[in-house]
A and B are shown apart, each in its own frame.
Chain A
Amino acid sequence: MSFLDYFRSKQSPRSAATAKERLQVIVAHERGQRNQPDYLPRMQQEILEVIRKYVPVEQDDVQVQVDENGNCSVLELNVTLPG
């Protein structure tokens, strides 16, 4: 701490709070992905290709997710069809 700092008011933004918030979001997101089986992205791609044979859908229109429910897992498939 230098001479000038001593007289400077301590009104700097509390960047640690920002760091904590950002970390909580990214860590929660990455933990969610961690528990997903490795085959999920490939399966999503194949499902997308099957659907595309019949309906024009984009990559983002198909959401695949695995939820743990006690001792069983639920595979959730959400397809947004073009109106």
Chain B
Amino acid sequence: MARIIVVTSGKGGVGKTTSSAAIGTGLAQRGHSTVIIDFDVGLRNLDLIMGCERRVVYDFVNVINGEATLNQALIKDKRTEGLFILPASQTRDKDALTEEGVSKVLEELKGRFDYIVCDSPAGIEKGAQMALYFADEAIVVTNPEVSSVRDSDRILGILQSKSLRAREGQDPVKEHLLLTRYNPTRVSAGEMLSVADVEEILAIPLLGVIPESQDVLKASNQGEPVILNVDAQAGQAYSDAVDRLLGEDRAHRFLDEQKQGFLKRLLGGRG
């Protein structure tokens, strides 16, 4: 039975799409057929991050409205076997995603894939609620920063009260904390909330910590999920997170300040 995983956060710009792309790719790399769905109607961006923006013909809303079949709308990833992308529509119609429509498409996808990764839009409006409604698991992407942590807590409240699992009294949505843009140097200087601080406040299990890294911007510039960059710490951290998501034990890495040489610090070297 396919697992539906929503990648959500409440706040925008914390790394939902970057994380959806990385985690979806990671799942497919490990042999699980995976589809990543962009739920951000009107602000399509997963295609850019995945580097398939020029191959979009039909989208999620076309499939819901019966204007295209799933096969026509799904984009097969060229780098990773077993990975597909379902792009968001660029329509300005806010009500394009209906509960029945989304449910119908997800049912069809469940028969074909092991994992369905739902890349949620920011906010707590319809699109975000639709992205999390059918989820079995939720990856709550959070930055170590006050507004992001508060919004994550708000989204956790919505998961616990407004998801299908909550409404029908089934087992609750399994929650995971993914801390992104983490800067150990600033944490040790007392300028940034630590992993422990955020864990204590949100009180959900930690899936992974992604260090702040220039490789993430580089990856999105190139339209390549950062997890494919095996030399990058951010890529390795996402890889560990995917392993943990699949139930494996992986120690957390990149949590401590990296000591730089005197000369490098003097010259303003970058981690």
Contacts and interface: CB of A to CB of B under 8 A. Distances in A.
B231 to A, nearest CB: 23
Interface size class of B (residues with CB under 8 A): 20 to 34
A56 to B, nearest CB: 37
B55 to A, nearest CB: 42
B201 A23 contact: yes
Given A3-B268, A6-B265, A22 B201 contact: no
Interface in A10-48: 10, 12-17, 19-20, 22-24, 26-27, 30-31, 34
> Do most interface residues of chain B lie in helix, strand or loop, or is the interface mixed?
helix
Interface string B178-202: 0000000001011111100100110
B197 A20 contact: yes
B77 interface: no
B192 A16 contact: yes
B86 interface: no
Contact of B153 (A3, A6, A31): A31
B193 A16 contact: yes
Contacts, number: 55
Nearest to B267: A3
B268 A10 contact: no
B251 interface: no
A75 interface: no
Interface residues of A, number: 21
Contacts of A15: 190-191
B153 A10 contact: no
A14 B191 CA distance: 6
A1 B266 CA distance: 8
B57 interface: no
B154 interface: yes
Given A12-B191, A16-B190, A23-B201, A1 B150 contact: no
Interface in B129-177: 145-146, 149-150, 153-154, 157, 161
A2 B268 contact: yes
Contacts of B200: 20
A23 B260 CA distance: 32
B157 A17 contact: no
A23 B148 CA distance: 10
B150 A12 contact: no
Contact of B157 (A14, A16, A31): A31
B150 A16 contact: no
B265 A1 contact: yes
B150 A23 contact: yes
A27 B190 contact: no
Contacts of B157: 30-31, 34
Given A10-B189, A15-B191, A16-B192, A27 B153 contact: yes
12 contacts: A1-B260, A3-B268, A6-B266, A14-B190, A14-B191, A15-B190, A16-B187, A19-B146, A19-B197, A23-B146, A23-B193, A27-B153
Given A6-B266, A12-B191, A22-B146, 20 more contacts: A1-B265, A1-B268, A3-B267, A6-B265, A12-B189, A12-B190, A14-B190, A15-B191, A16-B190, A16-B194, A17-B190, A19-B145, A19-B146, A19-B193, A23-B150, A23-B193, A27-B150, A30-B153, A31-B153, A34-B161
